[in-house]
A and B are shown apart, each in its own frame.
Chain A
């Protein structure tokens, strides 16, 4: 019985300790965003790596998402004679929910893993320690550019994902399900609302923050050689993905309540 309680106690303490470390890490990182020196060039380079290089995978996934949405809603609403609802459903789901979430999850897999692996390798080979001995703050040089790039480029990626997703719905509706092109576009336009799109973009910025933060945090604290880097990478992707879905729920309840 005592052992059982001790185990619960230990894991609870361990959990709170790691949450505390994470918040501390996030706090220090944010404080370094606003204090000079700033590494603008590194931010731009990370924007290329995080944003631009994610375009193909985000574009493809959102295209298929839009297409499957149109197909599903067409068969689902067929019984109610509600073909007109297809356009609205595609627009609402993509802009409010699926655009940011799908793009976020893709970026968590692609970028979160890459950041964790890179910083993890730097950490276990003393490169991060070397930065501090060369009068360069590792938070400023490594963490801040990645977090800033994530927060800036995720909304841009989601704008692209929204457009391509809605286009995917249009392609399926018009070419496969014989919807009238001009009335479909009209319905799309009517359903497209600025607050919906904006809520998706705010979510995207938040997702960009958690994905890059998780990548940096797990990479920065990885220990123990190749295996440590491997588990840091896994942890970054898993925790990033879970936090995206959690934040998604929280932000949705804030925006639409």
Chain B
């Protein structure tokens, strides 16, 4: 297997606050990696650095062997075409109906015709368990779980090679969380995509991940196969997966 994404010694600070302090991570083609860690451990910043929404202070990121940190905007746009992303709050465009949200990347990015795009949007909605009647609603009319599904549909509509999931189950009830986890696992497998997720929901991590990586204070302190996480022998990991207040992990007060 070749590495789809390679991250080398990534650093990022906001003023005096060092969020990422030397992250090294390789994600193989078709692998699903879940990054776990508490709030403020630098998970979101890591995703944003890979997508180029934030510029790291030092270190390198390669996607398909191409260095991306100092990419120009047109090269970056070409690179981002390989990506799909499900945002934490779904981040649907509230000025557009659901179907235009789902096929947005195809209409704007690839100039697909509207009639064709709508058909594709309805097909994609069906893959995340939503009927055609949802297509003409606006995002504001949907519940949180439905918005997440639409967000997932939007992330997979262009059949991306790489999909990022930012806290896919945050704010959902346990049943809806499981539905979303199931959908994510199935759709990623269907597409054969490389997936990188960040979460602090262990149920979600266990369901989605081939490999779990734990981030703490801007560094990777443990990584291993999903099945190994219960016998990690790492006090930080044990405290986190068991959700104990006492242990070596001290919670960060300030948000990053």
Contact (Cβ within 8 A) A134 B87: no
Interface residues on A, range: 10 to 19
| Chain B, residue nearest A32 (CB) | B73
* A residues near B80, Cβ cutoff 8 Å: 132-133, 135
Partner of B87, one of A130, A136, A137, A141: A130
Taking CB atoms and an 8 Å cut-off, the chain B residues in 76-104 that contact chain A are 77, 80-81, 83-85, 87-89, 91-94, 104
Contact (Cβ within 8 A) B48 A135: no
C-alpha spacing A134/B80, complex, angstroms = 7
Q: Provided the pairs A136-B108, A137-B77 are in contact, do residues A130 and B51 lie with their beta carbons within 8 angstroms?
A: no
* A residues near B93, Cβ cutoff 8 Å: 122, 127, 130
> Is the CB of B245 closer than 8 A to any CB of chain A?
no
* A residues near B85, Cβ cutoff 8 Å: 130, 133
> Is the CB of B65 closer than 8 A to any CB of chain A?
no
C-alpha spacing A125/B140, complex, angstroms = 13
| Chain B, residue nearest A35 (CB) | B74
> Is the CB of A3 closer than 8 A to any CB of chain B?
no
Partner of A132, one of B51, B84, B89, B110: B51
Contact (Cβ within 8 A) A141 B108: yes
| Chain B, residue nearest A45 (CB) | B95
| Chain B, residue nearest A28 (CB) | B73
> Is the CB of A178 closer than 8 A to any CB of chain B?
no
| Chain B, residue nearest A39 (CB) | B108
Contact (Cβ within 8 A) B108 A132: no
> Is the CB of B109 closer than 8 A to any CB of chain A?
yes
Partner of B83, one of A125, A127, A133, A137: A133
In the assembled complex, the CB of B110 is this many whole angstroms from the nearest CB of chain A, namely: 8
Binary interface encoding of chain B residues 101-139 relative to chain A, with 1 for a CB under 8 A from any of its CBs, else 0:
000110011100000000000000000000000000000
> Is the CB of A129 closer than 8 A to any CB of chain B?
yes
In the assembled complex, the CB of B7 is this many whole angstroms from the nearest CB of chain A, namely: 18
C-alpha spacing A122/B92, complex, angstroms = 9
Q: Provided the pairs A133-B84, A137-B77 are in contact, do residues A126 and B91 lie with their beta carbons within 8 angstroms?
A: yes
* A residues near B87, Cβ cutoff 8 Å: 126, 129-130
* A residues near B110, Cβ cutoff 8 Å: 135
Q: Secondary structure at chain B's binding surface: helix, strand, loop or mixed?
A: mixed
* A residues near B109, Cβ cutoff 8 Å: 134-136
Partner of A129, one of B48, B73, B81, B105: B48
In the assembled complex, the CB of B162 is this many whole angstroms from the nearest CB of chain A, namely: 10
Contact (Cβ within 8 A) A134 B104: yes
* A residues near B158, Cβ cutoff 8 Å: 134
C-alpha spacing A214/B91, complex, angstroms = 24
Taking CB atoms and an 8 Å cut-off, the chain A residues in 114-148 that contact chain B are 122, 125-127, 129-130, 132-137, 141
In the assembled complex, the CB of A59 is this many whole angstroms from the nearest CB of chain B, namely: 27
* B residues near A126, Cβ cutoff 8 Å: 87-89, 91
* B residues near A127, Cβ cutoff 8 Å: 91-94
> Is the CB of B154 closer than 8 A to any CB of chain A?
yes
* B residues near A130, Cβ cutoff 8 Å: 85, 87, 91-93
Partner of A135, one of B53, B77, B154, B164: B77
C-alpha spacing A132/B81, complex, angstroms = 9
In the assembled complex, the CB of B154 is this many whole angstroms from the nearest CB of chain A, namely: 7
In the assembled complex, the CB of A120 is this many whole angstroms from the nearest CB of chain B, namely: 13
C-alpha spacing A67/B91, complex, angstroms = 49
* B residues near A122, Cβ cutoff 8 Å: 93
A residues adjacent to B (C-beta < 8 A): 122, 125-127, 129-130, 132-137, 141
Q: List 5 A-B contacts (CB under 8 A).
A: A132-B51, A133-B84, A135-B77, A135-B108, A137-B77
A-B pairs with lowest CB-CB distance, top 4: A135-B109, A134-B105, A126-B91, A130-B91
Taking A132-B80, A133-B51 as known contacts, 10 extra A-B pairs with beta carbons closer than 8 A to each other, sorted by chain A number, are A126-B91, A129-B51, A129-B53, A130-B92, A132-B51, A132-B52, A135-B109, A136-B108, A136-B109, A137-B73
